[in-house]
Amino acid sequence: MSQADLSIHGQVSRSEATEVMTAPTFHVPAKKMAMWLFIIADSMTFAGCLVAYGFVRNATPNWPRPFHSVTNVAIMTFILLTSSLTMLIGLRSAQKGDKAGAFRWTMVTAALGILFAVLHIREWMGMIAEGATLFHNPWGTPLFSSLFFSVTGLHLTHVTGGVIALIAVAIRYQGGRYGADDLEITGLYWHFVDLVWMFVVPLIYLLNLSH
């Protein structure tokens, strides 16, 4: 019985079976799917941290509200949101074949990431100067400082990693070793870092604003 006969009789031919087995999941290329799986796993990490923070905040009487101004965090939010837009501009340039434009906008995204990190570290330095450390908090329970530095530190680590990845991928894209799809995958990670910040700001900063 030939392969054609098998197909006619409702059975799957070898070529059809191979096609099914090697077809990308959800029509998404393998390395992009890997990034999505990483994002799902990482969102669980952040969700766990934020829920743990919520648990401790809820269960601790006289939770401190040390933030007097939101100017710095508002600027940081604006920078991170804008960096997502510049990443998209870079990606669209790459998909149109505008290599110089894609490289330029990806580097602008990385520069905005660096600016965000600098502002974040400056804010940390201000808090450390007031006596807040991982194990000490001048405004009340030390749990506040522990959670603040842990959650924002985890996010800052992601931003730092993202900046390094953006620069590395942009340089390799410029050199012709990477393509637009690689820029898109790095962009997915960058948008995810931005997305997490949308939850960190209200929960860690705005709910702890002194009135």
Partner 1 sequence: MTTETHSGSMGKDLIVYVFLLVLAAAQFVIAYQDISASQMFVRMLAVAIIEAGLALLFFMHLAENRGLMWFVLIFLVAVALGLQYGWTDAFRLSNGVPWAR
Q: How far is CA 181 from the centre of its chain?
A: 18
Nearer to partner 1, 84 or 145 (CB): 84
Q: Note whether 44 binds partner 1 by CB under 8 A.
A: yes
CB atoms within 10 A of CB 137: 22
Q: Note whether 82 binds partner 1 by CB under 8 A.
A: yes
Answer for the pair 68, 210: CB distance below 8 angstroms, yes or no.
Answer: yes
Strand, helix or coil for residue 209: strand
Nearer to partner 1, 28 or 128 (CB): 28
Distances, alpha carbon 174 to alpha carbons 31, 130, 132, in Å: 20, 45, 43
- Interacting positions 88-127 with partner 1 (CB under 8 A): 88-89, 92, 95
The nearest distance, CB 148 to partner 1, in angstroms, is 16
What residues contact residue 205 under an 8 Å CB cut-off, 6+ apart? 67, 70, 73
What residues contact residue 50 under an 8 Å CB cut-off, 6+ apart? 151, 199, 200, 203
Nearer to partner 1, 8 or 51 (CB): 51
Answer for which of 58, 68, 69, 129 binds partner 1 (CB under 8 A) is 58
Nearer to partner 1, 6 or 63 (CB): 63
**Which residues of the chain form contacts with partner 1 (CB under 8 A)?**
26-29, 31-32, 36, 39-40, 43-44, 47-48, 51, 54-56, 58-61, 70, 74, 77-78, 81-82, 84-85, 88-89, 92, 95, 179-181, 184, 188, 191-192, 194-195, 198-199, 201-203, 206-207, 209, 211
